[in-house]
Structure 1
Amino acid sequence: MNTQIFRQYDIRGIADRDLDNELVFGLGLAFAHFAKMKLGKSELSVVVGRDARVSSDRIFCALADGLVKGGATVVDIGMVPTPLVYFARVQGSHDACIQITGSHNAGEYNGFKMMVGADTLHGAAIQELRGIIADKSAAEAAQPGEIIADENVISDYLNYVGGNVKMGSKPLKVVVDCGNGIAGVAAPQLVQDVLGAQMIPLFVEPDGNFPNHHPDPTVLENLQDVMAAVREHQADLGIAYDGDGDRIGVVDHKGEVIWGDKLMILLSRDVLKSNPGATIIGEVKCSQTLFDDIQKHGGNAVMSKVGHSLIKAKIKETGAKLAGEMSGHIFFNDRYFGFDDALYATARLLEILSNTDQDLGQLLGDVPETFATPELRLDCPDDVKFDVPGKVAEQFSKEWEVNTLDGVRINFGDGWGLVRASNTGPVLVMRVEAGTPERRDELLGWLENAVKSAIA
C-alpha cells in the first residue's frame, strides 16, 4: 500500500498503480466500519458518485463491494460532479457519501472525496482510515448491505437550483468550458435551460482522457480557449470548471480572468446585502483587497487555512455565509448548504449579472488596483518543506507583522508575501501582492532570499 495517497484533504493516486481492487475493496470495508463507529449506527446509507475517468467504473465496483460487505447500503448516483454527491447526501438524508474522482489531476489519477454526516474527512480521519485498511481491522458484516440506484439526482439538483435563484431580465451570453470533465453532464443544462442564458459550449462531452486541455482553471494556459471564445462571440462572460466540478474559473466580457479572490469580492458584496454583518471567509493566499472589501461593506472578514475540508470546518465553526479560495472553491452557506459547488456558484453569479445593467468590469471597477504574482511553486522535499515557513517568519518578525496561521504571511504595510508548505506535494507555495509592479518584485526578491536561506 502506497501510504502517500492518503493526503490531507482526500485520497488520491495513480489508479492502475496505487488503487488496485484489493485496496479499494479494503477502503470500502474500512469506510463502512469507520462511519458506523463515528455516527454510532448499526445501519448505514452511503451515496457514491464518480467522475468520467477511465478507471472510475472499475473503482466503483470494488468500492461498492467493500461497502456492501461492510453492511452499508450503497446509493449509486452514477457519473456526476462532486457537488451533486454532497447534494444527494443532504437531500436524501443519507449518512455519508464518497465521490470517486481525480479532481484536476491528469487522466491516469483517481481518488476519493469523503463525508461522514456533515463532516468532510481530512487530516487525522483519513489517516485513521489508512490504519483500519492496513490492520485489516474492519470485519465483514453479518448482514451485508445492497446497492440501489438513484438516477434522478441531476434533475433534482437542477430543479432545486432553478427554484433557489431569481434571474433578472437582462439576457446573458455565456461561454461554458467543461474541459471534458464531469461538469458537462449538468452545467450546460443549468446555464441554458434552467438559468435561461444563451450558451456557447466548449468541451462539454465528458472524456477521462481530457483531449483538449487539462481541466484546471487555476492555470492560465487552460483558460485560453474560453478567453478566446468570449472575445469571438462577444459574450458577457466565460465559465470554466475543473475535472469534478467543484472549482470555478471566470473570464469577464473582455476575455480577462477574474481570479477566485476577486470573484469573492463580487459574491461577498451580494451576500452582505441580504446578510448585514455576516462572516465571510477567505484563505491565506487571497488578496488583501478581499478582506478589506468585506470589512468596508460591513462584513466580518475571517482568514482561513487553505483546503476545502478545512474551510468547511471553519464555516461550521463560525457560521460564515460565504467562503472561497484562490483556487475557485466557492462555498455558499447563504440559501445553500455550505459546501463547495462551482455549478451553484455559476447560478449565483449569473443571478447577480442578470439583475444589473453593469458588466463584470464595472461591478469590480472600484476595487483598488494591486499587482500580485500568480501562485508560485518551488520544489522542496517533504521532510524539509514544513520547517521553511517558520524560519522565514523568524527572519521577518523583528520588523514586520507575521501571521503563521498557515505557513507565514508577512504584512509589509504596502504589500504582503506568503510562504506555505503544500499539503499535496513536495512543494513550497509563494505569493506576493503590492501596490506597484516594482514593489511586488522587490518583496518577491526578499521572500525568495529568505526561503533560500531557510532551506540552506
Structure 2
Amino acid sequence: MRHQFHSTVLREYDIRGIIGETLGADDARAIGRAFGTLLRAAGGRTVAVGYDGRVSSPMLEHALVEGLNASGCDVVRIGMGPTPMLYYAEASAEEVDGGIQITGSHNPPNYNGFKMVFQGRPFFGADIQKLGELAADGAFASGTGTVITRDILGAYVERLLKGLAGVDPEALKHLRVGWDAGNGAAGPALEALAARLPGEHHLLFTEVDGHFPNHHPDPTVEANLTDLRALVADKQLDFGVAFDGDGDRIGAIDGTGRVIWGDQLLMIYAEDLLKTRPNATIIADVKASSALFDRVAELGGQPLMWKTGHSLIKSKMKETGAPLAGEMSGHVFFADDYYGFDDALYAGVRLLAAAARLGKSVTELRSAIPPMLNTPELRFQVDETRKFAAMAEIAERLATNPGPAVESVNTTDGVRVSTADGWWLLRASNTQDVLVARAESDTQAGLDRLLAQIDAQLAASGLERGDSVGH
C-alpha cells in the first residue's frame, strides 16, 4: 500500500501539517508503518506513543498505533502529556526502542504533527526523508504488534523533582513563583509538580484545551506573557515561568516583569552548572547573544555556537558530551543529571535550583546580564526555491569581498558576521520559506549600521527585508 505525503509535511526536525488539508489519519497510519519498518530493520520493536491536547491528536494517535502494530511493532501508549514526558518514557524504559509524540507544538490549533526518537537519538532530516521514500514505495514490514497502556505521569513528576537534589530546602521554601501552562499539554504535569515543590506556587491555565482560549502557547512572543506578568505583579512573586503548547520550550520573566530570553536563561543555568562542572562545553544556537558566549568563557566554560534546531542541538550534545545547551526559541537541554532532551518543566525546576544555589533572586540574576540592543528574530518571506541559493550567494560575497567593516564571518548556520558594532545573522529557515535575520549592538547607531549591512547583502541578491512573518 503506497502512500504519498503532501509536499509541505515532511520537515527538517519533525512532521507537521494542517488537519483536513495536508495531514490526516491516513498519513498517521503511514508514518506508523514506515517508522515501525525502519525500527524493526534496526533491531528494535517497542515504541512509546504520546499526544498533546489538540482536538485532532486522539484521532492521529489511533491511526499511528494501527500503523505501528501493522508493521509488527509493540506500542506503549502513555496518553496525553507534554512532549518531554514522551521523551522520558523512551529514555527511562529499557524495553522501549523508540518514541513518537503527536503534537502541533506552538502552531495554531488547526495544525498537528509528530516528533520522533529512534533508539535514543533524534529522528530528523534524512531520517524523515527516508520515511517518506519508504511510504511512497509501499515497502512496509508486516506483522501484528501488541498495545499496552502505561500511566507514567507520577514517575515523570518524581524524576523532575530530582532537579532539586542537593539544594538546601531552606533556600527553596521562601520562593514564590507563577506558572502559565497556556492550556497546553503540560498542564496536568505542572499541577502534579507544583503540588510537590517547596515554596509558594500560583498556576494559570492548566486545563488542557486545544483551542487555546486564553492566549496562544508560544512563550517567546512577548504578548503571550501578559497574563503571567499580571500574576507576578499582582501577587508580587519572585519570577514567572511559561510553557509552549507541548511543554518542550520555556519562557520566563523576572519579578519586575522583564522577559528572560532563551540565551539569558542559559547564562543563569551556566553560572550554576559551571560551579560543579568547570570547563564544561555549553552549546547555544547561532541566534544567541554574544554576551552569552562571553559569559560562559568568563565563568570557565567552553562556549560552542551551533546550528538552530532542537534535533541538531541534541545531536551535537551527544557528540561533544556537553551537559547543557539552549536555543533562543526556549528549548533548553540538560544532560547534567538528566537525559539531554528539551524539557521546559525540568528547566523550570532547574531555575528554582539555580536561584537557591547561587543565593540570588532571579531578578538579581537577570539584572546582572549586560544590557544589549538586539532585534527580535526578523523573519521574512523568500521563495522556497530561492532561499538557500540566496544564502549561498551572500556567503560567497562575504568570503571574497567582505568589505572593511567585517571582522569575521561564521558560517555554522547561514552567516553570522562580526563587526566593531556587534554582529548580524542571516540564515535560511529549515521549516518555512523564510530567511531569518537578527542583529545585536551596544548602541542604536551600531544596530542601524548592522541592519543596513543586512539590507545591502539582501539587495545584492535581489531581495529585501519585508514585513516579518510568524513561525
2:461: which partner in 1? 454
Note if 1:418 corresponds to 2:425: yes
- Structure 1: stretches of 5+ with no match in the other structure: none
1:27 CA drift (Å): 1.2
Does the 8 Å contact 1:32/1:70 carry over to 2? Answer: yes
Encode CA deviations 1:93-120: one digit per residue, 9 max, x unaligned: 2100000000000111111000111111
More moved, 250-259 vs 179-188: 179-188
Aligned to 1:341: 343
Whether 2:150 is the aligned partner of 1:150: answer yes
Q: Identify which of 371, 374, 383 aligns with 1:372.
A: 374
- Pairwise CA distance, 1:356: 4.7
Alignment of 1:34-49 (within 5 A): 34-37=38-41, 39-41=42-44, 44-49=45-50
Corresponding position of 1:172: 175
Q: CA deviation at 1:393?
A: 3.0
TM-superposed deviation, 1:159 = 1.2
2:12 corresponds in structure 1 to: 8
What's the CA shift for 1:3?
A: 2.3
Deviation at 1:395, TM superposition (A): 3.9
Give yes or no for contact 2:270–2:282 (8 Å, CA) kept in 1: yes
Residue 53 in structure 1 maps to residue 57 in structure 2: no
Give the counterpart letter for 1:84 in structure 2: M
The AA in structure 2 aligned to 1:24 is A
Q: What secondary structure is seen at the aligned counterpart in 1 of 2:21?
A: helix
Does structure 1 residue 437 correspond to structure 2 residue 444?
yes
Give runs of aligned pairs for residues 113-124 of structure 1, distance below 5 A. 113-124=115-126
**Equivalent residue number for residue 467 of structure 2:** none
CA distance in 2, matches of 1:455, 1:303: 29
Q: What is residue 181 of structure 1 aligned with on the other side?
A: 184
Q: Does 1:82 align with 2:86?
A: no
For 2:134 and 2:224, locate their aligned partners in 1 and report how far apart those are by CA, in whole Å. 39
Residue of structure 1 aligned with 2:242, choices 236, 240, 243: 240
Once residues 233 and 442 of structure 1 are traced to their aligned partners in structure 2, the CA distance between those partners, rounded to angstroms, is 42
Match of 2:360 in 1: 358
- CA–CA separation in structure 2 for the residues paired with 1:21 and 1:286: 38
Any residues of structure 2 matched to 1:53-452 within 5 Å, and which?
A: 53-93=54-94, 94-141=96-143, 144-151=144-151, 153-166=152-165, 167-168=167-168, 169-170=170-171, 171-190=174-193, 192-397=194-399, 398-399=402-403, 400=406, 401-452=408-459
- Deviation of 1:288 (Å): 0.3
Letter in 2 for 1:444: L
Query: Structure 2-normalised TM-score?
Result: 0.93
Note if contact 2:163-2:349 (Cα within 8 Å) is conserved in structure 1.
Answer: no
Moved more, 8-17 or 391-400: 391-400
Please tell me whether the aligned partners of residues 390 and 408 of structure 1 are also in contact (alpha carbons under 8 angstroms).
Answer: no
Question: In 1, distance between residues paired with 2:255 and 2:328?
Answer: 20
Number of paired residues?
449
Other-structure match for 1:23:
27
Where do 5+ consecutive residues of structure 2 fail to align? 464-471
AA paired with 2:150? Answer: D
Alpha-carbon offset, residue 296 of structure 1: 0.7
CA positional deviation for 1:163: 3.1
After TM superposition, the structure 1 stretch with the greater mean CA deviation from structure 2, 400-409 or 440-449, is 440-449
Contact 1:115/1:121 (8 A) holds in 2 = yes
CA contact (8 A) 1:384 1:455 kept: no
The alignment partner of 2:198 has SS state of coil
| Secondary structure of 2:287's aligned partner | coil
The answer (yes or no) to whether the contact 1:379–1:427 under 8 Å persists in 2 is yes
Q: CA deviation at 1:179?
A: 0.8
Give the root-mean-square deviation of aligned CA atoms.
Answer: 1.3
Q: CA deviation at 1:452?
A: 2.6
Measured after TM superposition, the shift of residue 391 of structure 1 is 2.5
Give the partner amino acid of 2:29.
F
Give the Cα–Cα distance (whole angstroms) in 1 for the partners of residues 163 and 383 of structure 2.
Answer: 46
Q: Secondary structure at the match of 1:419?
A: strand
